[in-house]
Amino acid sequence: MSIGATWAGTHVFTATRLIEATSIGQVQAAVAETTGPIRALGTRHSFNDLADTSGTLITVTGIAPDPQLDQSARTVTVGAGTRYGDLAVWLEGRGWALHNMGSLPHISIGGAVATGTHGSGVTNGCLSDAVQALEYVDAAGDLRVARRGDDGFEGLVVGLGAYGVVVRLTLDVQPTFLVRQDVYRGLSWERFLDDVPAVMSAGYSVSAFTTWAEDTLQQVWRKSRINDADAPDPTWLGARFERPEEAGLVGVPPDNLTVKGGVEGPWLERLPHFRLDSTPSNGDEIQTEYFVDLKDAAAALTAVRALSSDIAPHLLVTELRTVAADALWLSGAYGRDTLAIHFTWRNAPAAVSALTPRIEEALAPFGARPHWGKVHTMGADAVAAVTPRLADARAQFERLDPAGRFANSHLQRLGVRV
C-alpha cells in the first residue's frame, strides 16, 4: 500500500503500513499489537522525513476532537489530530481564543506541538508553549498523562513523535480578542537593521517579508490586538501603508490570505496568514527555517544578506518572525527570545540542498537552530551544539521507549534517538 508523500511532496513515505485510528483504544491496540517501529503522522505538513518509519505509521486525525473547555482553569482539552483551525472556530463560538496561530490553520495540533511550530510576537511563545498537559500512548500501548510541573514534562511537549503517540492535549486559552493586520511596504533595510527588536515589537504579532535582494523589505505585517492598538500610522518608519486590495504576497494567490488592510476581525481570521478554506502558501515549494537569539538579529540578517544574490533566484519569499523564550527542551526558542528566519523556496531541491549549508555556515556564529519540520542539512554534532537540553531529551526518550519503536533514521541522524 502506498502511503503517499508529505503535503508539499518533498518526501515520499517509506512506511509499509498506515493505520487511521478512530479511537484512543485503537491507538493503544495498534501500538500493543504491532511489532517493530511505529510512528505518529499528523497532517503531513513537515517537509522532511521526520515523521517517517520503516514500519507502521499511525494517524490520530480521524479521532473525534471532543473539545472540553474548562473556563475556570482557562484550558481546552482536545484530540491531538484536530486541526488548529477547527479548534479555533469551536473556541471562538464560545468566546475563547488561543494565544497565537501558525501561518496556516490546517496543521494538526499534535503534529504542530511536536515540532515547536510558532507564529510571531515578541511576547508570544510557540504554540507548544500553551500545552498544559498531554495524554499519550506509550511504547507498551498504555495511556499515560504528563502535566506541566511534572518532572521531564518540558522534554515531552516538543517531542518529535520520539516517545509515543499523543492522543489528547490540554491548551491554555484566553477570552476572544479582535486583531487588525496593517501591511506596510518599503521599509528600508537600514531602518530595520537599526533596531530589529523594535520593529518586531510594533504589534502583537509582526512578520517581515523579504526576497533579500532589494534595498527595502517587501512587506511588514503588523497584527495588533484592537484594545492595544492605536490607529494605523500611515508614515510608520517611512514605509507605505497598503490598502487592503494591495496586500498580496509573492507566490501566493491573494484569495488564500486572511484579511489585511487594517480591517478588524476575530483572532482566528487575522493571526494565521492563510485562510482555513484555501490552500496555504504556494504548495509547490520547500521550506527551511532557522532560529537565532533576537539580540543577534541584525548581525545574523546581515550575514544572510551577504548571500542574497545566490538566494534570490531560488526563493519565493523569506518571512522573519519572533518567538518568546520558553523552557521546552527541544523548542527552537528554548531559553532565548528568538528571531525566526524562514525561507519558502521554489521547488528546486538541488538548489536548496546547495544553499542550505551555506546559510547554516553564515548563521553558525549565532548558534542557529533548525526548525525540526523543515529542510536543513545540520547533522548530530551541529544540532547538539545548539540544543542545550538535547542529551536530557534523548535520555528521557530512551527511558520511555528502550526498544526504539518510536525512533527513526531521521532522529538517529540528528542524535535525538540513539
Ligand X SMILES: Cc1cc2nc3c(=O)[nH]c(=O)nc-3n(C[C@H](O)[C@H](O)[C@H](O)COP(=O)(O)OP(=O)(O)OC[C@H]3O[C@@H](n4cnc5c(N)ncnc54)[C@H](O)[C@@H]3O)c2cc1C
Task: State the distance between the two ends of the chain, measured CA to CA, in whole angstroms.
Answer: 29
One of 85, 105, 111, 370 touching ligand X (CB under 6 A): 111
Binding flag, residue 44, ligand X (CB under 6 A): yes
Binding-site string for ligand X from residue 221 to residue 260, where x marks contact by CB under 6 A and - marks none: ----------------------------------------
Which of positions 342-371 make contact with ligand X (CB under 6 A)? 371
Shortest CB 155 distance to ligand X, Å: 14
Quote the CA–CA distance of 300 and 293 in Å, as a whole number: 9
Residue 272 to residues 136, 242, 364: CA-CA distances in angstroms? 28, 19, 30
Nearer to ligand X, 193 or 348 (CB): 348
Q: How far apart are CA 95 and CA 89, in angstroms?
A: 10
Q: Which residues, 6 or more positions from 354, have their beta carbon under 8 angstroms from its beta carbon?
A: none
- Does the protein bind ligand X through residue 196 (CB under 6 A)? no
The answer to whether the CB of 57 falls within 8 A of the CB of 34 is no
Residue 407 contacts ligand X per CB under 6 A: no
Instruction: Select the residue interacting with ligand X from 21, 30, 78, 80 (CB under 6 A).
Output: 80
Q: Which helix (H) or strand (E) holds 395?
A: helix 390-400
Which CB sits closer to ligand X, 71 or 123?
123
- Residue 300 · residue 366 · CB < 8 Å: yes
Residue 107 lies near ligand X (rule: CB under 6 A): yes
Does 65 engage in binding with ligand X (CB under 6 A)?
A: no
Q: Scanning residues 278 to 307, which ones bind ligand X (CB under 6 A)? A: 280-281
Binding residues for ligand X, how many (CB under 6 A)? 34
Report in angstroms how near the CB of residue 24 gets to ligand X at its nearest: 11
Work out how close the CB of 190 gets to ligand X at its nearest, in angstroms, rounded to a whole number. Answer: 27
Is there binding between residue 262 and ligand X (CB under 6 A)?
no
The minimum distance between CB 152 and ligand X, in angstroms, equals 16
Is 167 in a helix, a strand, or coil? strand
> How far apart are alpha carbons 398 and 407 in whole angstroms?
9
- State the amino acid at position 162 in one-letter form: A
Those residues whose C-beta lies under 8 Å from the C-beta of residue 195, and which sit 6 or more positions away, are none
Query: Does 124 help bind ligand X (rule: CB under 6 A)?
Result: no
